């Protein structure tokens, strides 16, 4: 199941997300948070997987629930694509510069969710999004998917730093989920 659709319907959000791990980078996102939509489409485009996400949420409160729940749903979709891990590459990394900013992402799609997020945004918000929600988005995604991720970034411009992180994560995720042609699970344990 390399192409999946995941839905989430709560009192705070309603989300439909489609992920095709074997796509070509086609992406569309409509969350009501334009900068976040830009980050999601950049992630998919550069990761080489197809992603479609429509979300409505309690944006009158703020964007936290919408972005958090998109992370949860994307994590659930990635977990379904990973399945039992047979045939995927599992490990991948990417180092992406964007002008003065640089982001490094290293992933292990091995079934254990963990996030190390190292970097600081200079402002309390990136666009209209509180800066701390980006770490929470990746935490939600990695925890649900069973991905260990180390994300590190530096720079002066918050937009550049954030975009470099999303592009690097997308590239590493696309590579980690890629098929190797091997039949077994890439683990000395024989399973994730």
Comparing CA positions, the residue from 55, 54, 44 lying closest to residue 22 is 44
Residue 65 sits in a domain whose CATH number is 3.30.230.40
Does 31 fall in a domain?
Answer: yes
Does 188 fall in a domain?
Answer: no
pLDDT score, position 3: 97
Task: Encode the chain (192 residues) as per-residue pLDDT tens digits.
Answer: 689 999 999 999 999 999 999 999 999 999 999 999 999 999 999 999 999 999 999 999 999 999 999 999 999 999 999 988 888 999 999 999 999 999 999 999 999 999 999 999 999 999 899 999 999 999 999 999 999 999 999 999 999 999 999 999 999 999 999 998 777 666 656 656
Does 49 fall in a domain?
Answer: yes
What is the pairing mode between strands 91-98 and 101-108?
A: antiparallel
CA angle, residues 52, 57, 58, in degrees to nearest 5: 165
Does 187 fall in a domain?
Answer: no
Does 190 fall in a domain?
Answer: no
Domain limits at 40? 3-176
Residue with tokens 């994307």: 74
Q: Is 7 helix (H, G, I), strand (E, B) or coil?
A: strand
Does 183 fall in a domain?
Answer: no
Does 63 fall in a domain?
Answer: yes
CA distance 75 to 79: 6
Does 73 fall in a domain?
Answer: yes
């Amino acid at each position: 199941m390399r192409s999946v659709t995941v839905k989430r319907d709560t009192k705070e959000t309603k989300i439909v997300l489609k992920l095709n791990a074997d796509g070509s980078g086609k992406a569309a996102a409509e969350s009501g948070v334009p900068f976040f939509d830009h980050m999601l489409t950049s992630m998919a485009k550069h990761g080489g997987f197809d992603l479609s996400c429509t979300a409505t949420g309690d944006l009158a409160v703020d964007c936290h629930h919408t972005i958090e729940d998109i992370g949860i749903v994307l994590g659930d979709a990635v977990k379904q694509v990973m399945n039992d891990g047979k045939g995927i590459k599992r490990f991948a990394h990417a180092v992406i510069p964007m002008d003065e900013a640089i982001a490094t992402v290293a992933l292990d799609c091995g079934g254990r969710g963990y996030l190390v997020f190292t970097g600081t945004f200079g402002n309390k918000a990136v666009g209209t999004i509180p800066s701390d929600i980006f770490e929470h988005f990746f935490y939600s995604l990695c925890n649900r998917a069973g991905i260990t991720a180390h994300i590190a970034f530096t720079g002066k411009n918050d937009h550049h730093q954030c975009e470099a992180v999303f592009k690097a994560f997308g590239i590493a995720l696309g590579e980690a989920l890629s098929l190797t042609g091997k039949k077994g699970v890439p683990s000395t344990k024989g399973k994730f």
